[in-house]
């Protein structure tokens, strides 16, 4: 069956005349349309028409957010553990790539910040052909927000991100409760010899390399999202408050109204294993943070069933 993706002016015209139109293969859960479809079941994949990236369905429902009281690895800001209900939404299956971010720049919708520290200049994206499918690195949360807005999406809330990463069973990592090198790109900087039994290094080598966004399939979340632990930290839309969980609403929490810091989740390729836990809450400095491993993925609301 031939797949048609409507974009640009033609897409807008069709929307104005007939709402939205889609074609889906009967043998696949992939859906191609000009507007987010109803999120019906786990395993459903939708291709976003503007940036061409796949998104996975996260159905509506409650889940356990935060860390258990007896979790010795958890910070106090991860507690108390509490139940949260999140409406259905779609989230990018993979972290936004350099290739996709470059398209946003080509359309003059993304203008990434160049960050200079000491004698090093950090460029928050890579034009090298070998890194086209690696995650785009952004210094400002605004750079991530600009991309999501261009793509007709937004940054996920912390609650949405955590649900997409852990599912509804309270697991510690996207894939379960134990961690090994085959599930995530992370690294503990102990620099011990590889044969040392104390050496827990993972990732590529003794220095940090991001991985392609579709690597580590064994580490995918219950909804099919890749690299929600390790590779790059990911911006979410919430501002940080260490006491927020004690006052967080049950329905669709969006974080406090004010706050100096924004939250980043998931850990990166130089992170310790403790940072890869889905409940971990780290904050950027103001609306920016750059250590060479800040990325993002986007989300979009799913419409209600007819």
Q: What is the pLDDT of residues 155-204, one digit of tens each?
A: 999 999 999 999 999 999 999 999 877 899 887 543 344 443 333 444 44
Q: Name which residue leads in pLDDT, 15 or 93.
A: 93
- Distance CA(74)–CA(44), nearest Å, equals 32
Q: What is the pTM of this model?
A: 0.83
Beta carbons of 235 and 264 less than 8 angstroms apart: yes
Looking at every residue in the chain, the average pLDDT score rounds to: 82
The pLDDT confidence band at residue 48, using thresholds 50, 70 and 90, is very high
Q: Rounded distance, CA 15 to CA 58, Å?
A: 25
CA distance 62 to 236: 19
Does residue 51 carry a pLDDT above 90? Answer: yes
> Does 136 score more than 90 pLDDT?
yes
List, in order, residues 6 or more apart from 201 with CB less than 8 Å away. 181, 187, 188, 190, 192, 194
Q: Which two tokens stand for residue 4?
A: 């048609």
pLDDT at position 124:
57
Q: Which of 7-11, 53-57, 161-165 has the lowest mean pLDDT?
A: 7-11
pLDDT at 129: 81
Q: Looking at per-residue confidence, does 293 or 258 come out higher?
A: 258
> Which tops the pLDDT comparison, 287 or 143?
143
Return d(Cα 39, Cα 46) in angstroms, integer.
Answer: 9
Q: Which pair of structure tokens corresponds to residue 225?
A: 């999202």
Instruction: Return the closest-CA partner of residue 59 out of 267, 255, 302, 279.
Output: 302
pLDDT of residue 189: 43
Q: Which domains does the chain have, with CATH numbers?
A: 36-301 (3.90.1580.10)
DSSP 154: B
Q: How large is the angle between the packed helices 141-150 and 98-106, nearest 10 degrees?
A: 70
Q: Which two three-digit tokens encode residue 297?
A: 């993925």
Query: What's the confidence (pLDDT) of residue 261?
Result: 86
Distance CA 198, CA 66 (A): 29
273 vs 242, which has greater pLDDT? 242
The pLDDT of residue 196 is: 39
Higher pLDDT, 114 or 66: 66
CA 183 to chain centre: 16
End-to-end CA distance of the chain: 26
d(CA 290, CA 104): 21
Strand ranges for 160-293 from DSSP E: 233-239, 262-265, 282-283
Distance CA 43, CA 221 (A): 11
Average pLDDT score over residue span 209-216: 92
Query: Would you tell me how many other CB atoms lie within 10 Å of the CB of residue 229?
Result: 30
pLDDT at 162: 99
pLDDT average, residue stretch 88-108: 97
Pairing state of beta strands 294-295 and 233-239? parallel
Which pLDDT value is given to residue 286? 52
SS3 of residue 172 by DSSP: coil
Residue 288 pLDDT: 52
pLDDT at 264 over 90: yes
Distance CA 46, CA 58 (A): 11
Q: Is the pLDDT of residue 218 over 60?
A: yes
Which pair of structure tokens corresponds to residue 37?
């479809």
pLDDT at position 296: 97
**17 pLDDT above the threshold of 60:** no
pLDDT at 281: 96
């Amino acid at each position: 069956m031939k797949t048609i993706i409507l974009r640009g002016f033609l897409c807008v015209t069709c929307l104005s005349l007939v709402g939205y139109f889609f074609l889906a293969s009967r043998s696949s859960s992939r859906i191609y349309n000009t507007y987010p479809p109803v999120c019906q079941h786990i395993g459903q994949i939708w291709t976003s028409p503007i940036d061409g990236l796949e998104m996975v369905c996260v159905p509506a429902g409650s889940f356990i957010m935060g860390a258990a009281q007896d979790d010795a690895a958890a910070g106090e800001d991860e507690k108390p553990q509490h139940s949260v209900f999140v409406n259905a939404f779609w989230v990018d299956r993979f972290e936004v790539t350099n290739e996709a971010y470059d398209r946003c720049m080509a359309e003059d919708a993304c203008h990434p910040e160049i960050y200079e520290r000491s004698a090093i200049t950090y460029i928050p994206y890579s034009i090298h052909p070998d890194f086209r499918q690696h995650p785009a690195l952004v210094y400002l949360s605004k750079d991530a927000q600009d991309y999501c807005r261009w793509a007709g999406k937004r940054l996920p809330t912390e609650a949405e991100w955590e649900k997409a990463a852990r599912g509804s069973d309270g697991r510690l990592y996207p894939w379960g409760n134990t961690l090994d090198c085959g599930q995530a790109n992370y690294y503990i900087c102990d620099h011990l010899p590889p044969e040392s039994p104390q050496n827990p290094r993972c990732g590529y080598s003794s220095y940090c390399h991001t991985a392609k966004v579709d690597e580590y399939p064994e580490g995918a979340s219950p909804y099919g999202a890749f690299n929600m632990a390790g590779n790059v930290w990911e911006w979410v839309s919430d501002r940080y408050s260490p006491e927020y969980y004690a006052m967080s609403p049950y329905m669709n929490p969006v974080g406090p109204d004010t706050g100096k810091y924004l939250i980043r989740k998931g850990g990166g390729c130089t992170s310790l294993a403790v940072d890869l836990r889905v409940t971990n809450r780290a904050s950027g400095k103001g609306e920016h943070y750059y250590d060479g491993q800040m990325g993002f993925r986007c989300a979009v609301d799913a419409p209600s069933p007819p």
